[in-house]
Every structure is written in structure tokens, then in C-alpha cells.
Chains A and B, each alone.
Chain A
Amino acid sequence: NAGVTQTPKFQVLKTGQSMTLQCAQDMNHNSMYWYRQDPGMGLRLIYYSASEGTTDKGEVPNGYNVSRLNKREFSLRLESAAPSQTSVYFCASRAGLDTEAFFGQGTRLTVV
């Protein structure tokens, strides 16, 4: 059972480059989320998608865009990477409001 799959696992970008982080879930979940984890800051919500066809900003959306491609897939795009976007990124999904979220293994991104 794959659960939530994120690609890539590691990435190094130069400042100004763009990239897309991919996330797919096979649990037929309605909601999907992108978080970043930084030391001392916990897990901060970047964007989320409550259901297929909708996306909303989270706590730290600046510099990012998202696409809910279908029910399974939710991608995160950095159009022009900055060193401040060096972080570990996690994708998550969950079925409904009173259910737990399942997380992917994370993408470690370094912007130099």
C-alpha cells in the first residue's frame, strides 16, 4: 500500500530556478496539503485542497503555486526558487474533517 508518494526525495536548485514537487495518494482522499518544516517552526501549511477542483492558501503561500490535477495528485511549484525556500516539504492527505492525515516521506530541497 503506497499511501502518499512524493517525488523527488532530494533536490538542489540554484536561486531563480523553477521546479515542481509531485504528490500522489492512492487512498481516495478528498483533502490534500503541502507543508514545509523548518527548525523551530514546526510544520507550516503552504497550500491545501479541500476537494478536487479547489485550492486555498495556508500560512506561508508566498513564492509557491499549486495544482490539484485530479483527486489523486496535488503538485507544488516554485517558480523562482530563493534560499529562504530551503526546507523539507511534506505532502499529506486525509479523507474528511474528523480523520487523520497521512504524510509522504518528504522532499528535502536546498536552494543555493
Chain B
Amino acid sequence: DQQVKQNSPSLSVQEGRISILNCDYTNSMFDYFLWYKKYPAEGPTFLISISSIKDKNEDGRFTVFLNKSAKHLSLHIVPSQPGDSAVYFCAAPYYNQGGKLIFGQGTELSVKP
């Protein structure tokens, strides 16, 4: 049972435009969410997080929005740059299982010059 889902395997945007990556979850107990970025042949690196007490968190060009009623979060990248081309994963920990951390399937973002 995939409790964190990223239904878009890939996304292509033009440089300078907005990239929106989506993530849905099914477990209403999730309280904290993270986004990771992964380049080929490297380990994932942390990008931004959001706690369920907020509906938005911003860090430079990256903003994460959380809609708890819809069990949906999104990552906005504005403006998109070619260096943002990577695979993006959303993740959530289970608080009642010792912080077991699970990830979505990932979305491959391609930003074209």
C-alpha cells in the first residue's frame, strides 16, 4: 500500500517558468513532510520540509504548500533553472513506528533552456 504517492513520473518546463510537483498521501497521521532532490549517481539531498501546523513553507525559489483536508502537498519552484533538472521525492515519517520514513515514487523534472 503506497501511502505517499507521486502520480506524475515526469515533468518538463521551460527555464524561467514555474515548476509544480505534486504529492498525495493517504495516512492522516502524517504530521511532517519532506522534499528531496536527486541527481543521477548521487544520494538524495534534502530540499525543504513542512510541518502540519503550517500550510506553506518558503525557502528562496522553493515553496511547499500543504492542504491537509485534501491530503496533498506541492512543491513550487520559481523561477525554474536548468540546474533544477533532477528527480524529486516527497517523504513522510510515521511517528508511531519509530520515525519510519517512507518516500513517494519520484517525479523527474526537466527544465529546458
Which A residues are closer than 8 A to B by beta carbons?
4, 31, 33, 35, 40-45, 48, 50-51, 54, 56, 58-59, 90, 92, 94, 96-98, 100-106
Contact = CB atoms under 8 A, between A and B. Distances in A.
Interface string B26-51: 00000010101000011111100101
A96 B49 CA distance: 14
B105 A31 contact: no
Interface residues of B, number: 27
A103 B44 contact: yes
Closest 5 CB pairs of A and B: A50-B98, A103-B43, A42-B105, A100-B46, A43-B103
Contact of B103 (A42, A48, A51, A105): A42
A104 B101 contact: no
